[in-house]
A = this chain, B = another copy of it.
Amino acid sequence: MQLPRAIDNLIKALGRLPGIGPKTASRLAFYLLNVPEAVAGELALAIGNVKKNTKVCRICFGVSETEVCGVCGDSRRNQRIICVVERMVDVLALENVGGYVGVYHVLGGVINPLEHVGPEDLKIGELILRITKITNSNNQLENDQNIEIILATNPTMEGEATALYIKKQVESLPNIKVTRIGSGLPMGGDLEYADLATLAHAMAGRQVM
């Protein structure tokens, strides 16, 4: 049975989205076929506009509506605590938790030789430049304080390698303190069902109560 080309095209386009298999793509396509024109039009417009109407923050490389994003432009945020993350979604996840007073630096991915992503493809050079700028600023009083770089890449093989690489690059800079986000059993997790790597990390990362 031959489906109309317009539906076939839509199913194919939806199927390219991450986590959307052929069945879901077909279900979504038929849903969009049946909704009022305005609803489908709104979605089409939103997709078309998302790139046009967003900028990349020139300080942290997160997405923003303005040249400098809301976090980097917030004077109440401590610009000397920089949390380095892989992607913008990680910033959102951390901001949702709330309570973090520092700023972010979005790498745009992780070092991944298999996918031909090297350090030069990420915003690592920009991070070093950013740190140097803070150190070279004229504020003598502040310059005695440490700059903390929190490496918050994911606890995957690539994320760990990227964190290690950045640590080596920045640790020699003056007044730098490099930290790594905690890794171990998730809250509500179960020792019995945890994988070996997680358990090993949880043991190695034990802390005094």
**A205 CB → nearest B CB, Å:** 27
Give A26 to B89 CA distance when docked, in angstroms. 8
**Minimum CB distance partner of A10 in chain B:** B46
**A92 CB → nearest B CB, Å:** 7
Binds B, one of A11-19, A122-130, A149-157, A180-188: A11-19
**Minimum CB distance partner of A8 in chain B:** B46
Give A141 to B31 CA distance when docked, in angstroms. 42
**A17 is contacted by which of B28, B64, B92 (Cβ under 8 Å)?**
B28
Does A40 make an interface contact (CB < 8 A)? yes
B53 and A89 within 8 A (CB): no
A-side residues, CB < 8 A to B, are 1-7, 9-10, 12-14, 16-20, 24, 26-33, 37, 39-55, 63-65, 70-71, 87-89, 91-92, 95
A contacts with B: majority SS: helix
Give A122 to B136 CA distance when docked, in angstroms. 73
Top 6 A-B pairs, shortest CB-CB distance: A6-B53, A4-B65, A10-B46, A1-B95, A13-B43, A44-B47
B54 and A43 within 8 A (CB): no
A6 and B50 within 8 A (CB): yes
**A46 is contacted by which of B6, B27, B31 (Cβ under 8 Å)?**
B6
B46 and A9 within 8 A (CB): yes
B41 and A48 within 8 A (CB): yes
**A125 CB → nearest B CB, Å:** 20
Cβ contacts A to B, 13 pairs, < 8 Å: A1-B70, A1-B71, A2-B70, A6-B50, A10-B49, A13-B47, A14-B46, A17-B31, A19-B27, A32-B47, A33-B50, A40-B51, A44-B44
The interface residues of chain B lying within 8 Å CB-to-CB of A20 are: 28
Give A43 to B48 CA distance when docked, in angstroms. 9
A89 and B27 within 8 A (CB): yes
**Minimum CB distance partner of A108 in chain B:** B34
B30 and A87 within 8 A (CB): yes
The interface residues of chain B lying within 8 Å CB-to-CB of A45 are: 44
**A10 is contacted by which of B1, B18, B40, B50 (Cβ under 8 Å)?**
B50
